[in-house]
Structure 1
Amino acid sequence: MYIYYSTFVSGFENAVKDFLIKSLDKTKIVLLLDGLVVYTTTTDVNKVKELRFVNNTFILIKEFSDKNLSLDLMLNELVNNAKLNIPVLSVRQKTFRIITSKENQLSAVDNTLLIKLEEKIKYFTKYRTNRKKPDIEFWILLRSEGRGFFGMRITHNHDSAKSLQQGELRPEVTNILCQLSDMNKTDVFLDPFVGSGAIPIERVKINKYTRVIATDNDKKLVNYLQTNVQRMNLKIEVYNGDALVLPSIANNSIDKIVTDPPWGIFNKKSESELNIFYTQMLQSFFRVLKPGGVAVVLLGQRELFLDLLKDFTDKFILEQNFSVLISGKKAGVYKIIKK
């Protein structure tokens, strides 16, 4: 049984812990840090590497802990370690490279030590070095709290950052948001600020819904998503409409809302304008949600929205909230339930 570690969006520690336990068999959380979790599971490695709520997953080969730890110290220890227990998952994997990262930034290391470690991995695995386009990556990861990890990466990015549009969420974020909504196969699901469609597309991929509805007041985005949905053959109903009114949505008809409304950054709304905007949004959500319906909302204005929710205590219960980092920006995720 392997020991794994996965990286994820900072701030979602408790959510990721719960999702791991629900998704995998006999999961034991060994260590939970900000944006990283170490765990064991009896689930097959091929299922572990398909988890969509984490950024990347690795098989742990060696762990380090020292307040004076550095990448070169880790490299030196790996070079001089008697043996590296490196798993071989596929006979088709024949080339590798080593990636070194300090506090989530790729960092240069002593090249002599790096070459020595490459030679050692080649000796134990019979792999060949390929620093440009390898079959396998070994990562040496150094964190700010003096912990380090050496592991073999078993995942590939679901979508590269270059393929995402401005403001579009990564799949691992949309997956977490959808899972926080307590998904059910009978759900009528709505994203009223759909944008490019990342959230409803992820919800359809999870395959727990009766209907998935997506609306936006930007006709160009609606046309883009309608074309994309047809091309991908997805069952998503896409409409042009104002999320603050939702004229095409009946009262008490929606089970779950998961959405990423404007943060006020790209459209440069003032705080007072955002206050009015979010008030109208919550009123609209209250109208269309069924009693007990859930809304999961991702916002950049954390304090403003928390203060605003105090005016809606007769309408909503705030069940969970998370302070997270999305693309390097501070944000909040709020799970509210209609009374």
Structure 2
Amino acid sequence: MSKKSVLAYILSITLLLVSMWLGIAIGSADIPISTLWDKETNPTAYSILWNIRLPRVILAALVGASLAIAGAAFQGLLKNPLADPYTLGISSGASVGAVATLYFSMSIPFLGTFTLPVFSIIGAAITMIFVMGFAKLVDRSMKMETLILTGVIFSSFLGSCISLMIALTGEQLRVIMGWLLGSVSMRGWPYVQMIIPFVIIGTLLIWLNRRELNAMIYGEDRAKYLGVDVKKSKYAILVGGSMLTGAAVAVSGTIGFVGLVVPHMMRLVIGADHRHLLILSFLNGASLLVICDLVSRTIIAPTELPIGVITAFIGAPVFAYIFYKQRKKGA
């Protein structure tokens, strides 16, 4: 491992620890993090840290990490720096699955609390299949513009499906609207427990195909020559990415651009080697969303902004810059 890689890991881990420390300690009332180990002195502060802030910070970290590593995998698989769960419409598909679950008050007995993330993941996977299939039908080479426009088309259609359910809903309206705004507020430990299995499985599916992602950078034919089972690897990466996206959307709502910004920045720092890119995207995606969540609840305190507003302020200019850069390169 090069010195540059070691330094990137040290800085990324340090940033994550510092951001989590700040996220736990800072809020409407600043509480020393040492209170986590001191129940007797101030039981109220202890309860706030353990039952509200700590699960919130951990959930934000897991959601950010999930979206970032999924974005890195999609960008590597499609060889497209603009590919991420948000721009490809996969987040919208996951949202439809989650909103439909809330709208119909669905709860499958053997799934229990996992009904919401499972339907969200199914929505993400189906959307990914349709987006890829339609893009290939329009343009077999699946150029950047084709993928992005296909993602926009499907996002618009799925957005109208969500609007229809909102228009028809009654007492679930507040729940659906609160969820759609994108937030990790007042979720608690049950939501952390809900997302963890999917984060582990989805991350493992992508991580086990890190070398295959490196081989596929040079094209599918080259990857086959190097002994890669391209079809199997593609499915594993797509399933892993959809699982991570669906689970993240299920617990936090739609939060855009994390999967676009973080992998792009890490690629500038460390290069396109997915052995390092995936881990660093995971760590820094977690840090970014913890910091964005901290900003969202402190910038106009006591009012909280939806976390998606903060990520959009960061992500939209970066998206525009990457798109401009790619177009100039192709010109």
TM-score (norm 1): 0.22
Greater CA radius of gyration, 1 or 2? 1
TM-score (norm 2): 0.22
Higher helix share: 2
Higher strand share: 1
Higher relative contact order structure (alpha carbons within 8 Å, sequence separation ≥ 6)? 2
